[in-house]
Amino acid sequence: MSLFLVSANKSFDGWHKQYTHESKVLNCSMRFAIYLPPQAASHKVPVLYWLSGLTCTDENFMQKAGAQRLAAKLGIAIVAPDTSPRGEGVADDPNGEYDLGLGAGFYVNATQAPWNRHYRMYDYVVNELPAIVETHFPVSDLRSIAGHSMGGHGALTIALREPERYCSASAFSPICNPVNAPWGQKAFSHYLGEDRGLWRQYDAVELMKESRLPMPVLVDQGLEDNFLSEQLKTENLAKVAADTKYPVTIRMQPGYDHSYYFIASFIEDHLRFHARHLSEQ
């Protein structure tokens, strides 16, 4: 696997770098960003994988969240993949809408044509990308996962399905119950088909009902988020967590919306949360 360096910027005595590579899983060229803290110069460090939301790329979190300062202090690498496959021949929403196709991979393995040729973001995030990162960079196999909105959905569902691979999970404004939300219903019907029973494997509420190996989870949700009631369904996650006694902390934050101003306000809490659980392994 060859990596091609796109950019490199020194940050808090570490390095933020962007790379491209040819993905065998997604059948296209992909870009990801990695922040390597200064500790990576002398030993392997744990990794937080960050999954971004609809319309985003690897750049949104790295440029807006302000995570590098504390990641440098804590000795945590951050890896941010793109949100979907891209390039010539990659299917997109025929109507040009933002919630399907490019920028909207939903972190699933698509089974329906034409999406199934490229849209296998679940396998990319869980298997291919960590294998690349752990081969080419001074990082360990201690991993945590986090994300925002569609990426929060991805982080929660991946952690619930792959608990042995991650030490902790967190999310900002996640799409908690996509089988009952318009964004999820649109994406899943295209990527997975009309059998709603198959959708449940990518729904945090449904997965939490059957969790076999709970892990620490932190969720922050803004109460002024315009998407809260229709799309995010945080109350459904809170209910199933209470019913199953799943170890998730859900914080409803007054006055905050769906933006990166919200993420930047609480990213320190999330980084310290992950650092604590990564250090316990």
CA angle 136, 25, 182 (to 5 degrees): 115
User: Any catalytic annotation for residue 13?
Assistant: no
Cβ pair 148, 266 in contact under 8 A: no
Please calculate the CA angle 77-79-83 and round it to the nearest 5 degrees. 165
Residue 66 · residue 36 · CB < 8 Å: no
Residue among 149, 168, 173, 211 flagged as catalytic: 149
Could you say which of 58, 153, 225, 274 is catalytic? 225
58 is a catalytic site residue: no
Cα–Cα distance measured from residue 42 to residue 272, given in angstroms and rounded to the nearest whole number? 22
Q: Which of 83, 88, 96, 163 is nearest to 129 (CA)?
A: 83
d(CA 36, CA 16): 6
Element (H, E) at 189: helix 182-192
- Say if residue 264 is exposed, middle or buried (CB neighbours under 10 Å; 0-12, 13-18, 19+): middle
| Residue of 67, 38, 13 lying closest to 270 (CA atoms) | 67
Q: Yes or no: say if 60 and 3 are a contact pair by the CB < 8 Å rule.
A: no
| Predicted structure pTM score | 0.97
Question: What pLDDT is recorded for position 26?
Answer: 98
In DSSP notation, 149-178 reads THHHHHHHHHHHH-GGG-S-EEEES----G
Based on the residue annotation, tell me whether 258 is a catalytic residue of this protein: yes
- Which of 258, 270, 274, 277 is an active site residue? 258
- How would you write the pLDDT of the chain (281 residues) with one tens digit per residue? 699 999 999 999 999 999 999 999 999 999 999 999 999 999 999 999 999 999 999 999 999 999 999 999 999 999 999 999 999 999 999 999 999 999 999 999 999 999 999 999 999 999 999 999 999 999 999 999 999 999 999 999 999 999 999 999 999 999 999 999 999 999 999 999 999 999 999 999 999 999 888 999 999 999 999 999 999 999 999 999 999 999 999 999 999 999 999 999 999 999 999 999 999 76
User: What DSSP assignment string belongs to 39-58?
Assistant: GGGTS-EEEEEEE--TT--T
Q: How far is Cα 114 from Cα 269, in angstroms, rounded to an integer?
A: 40
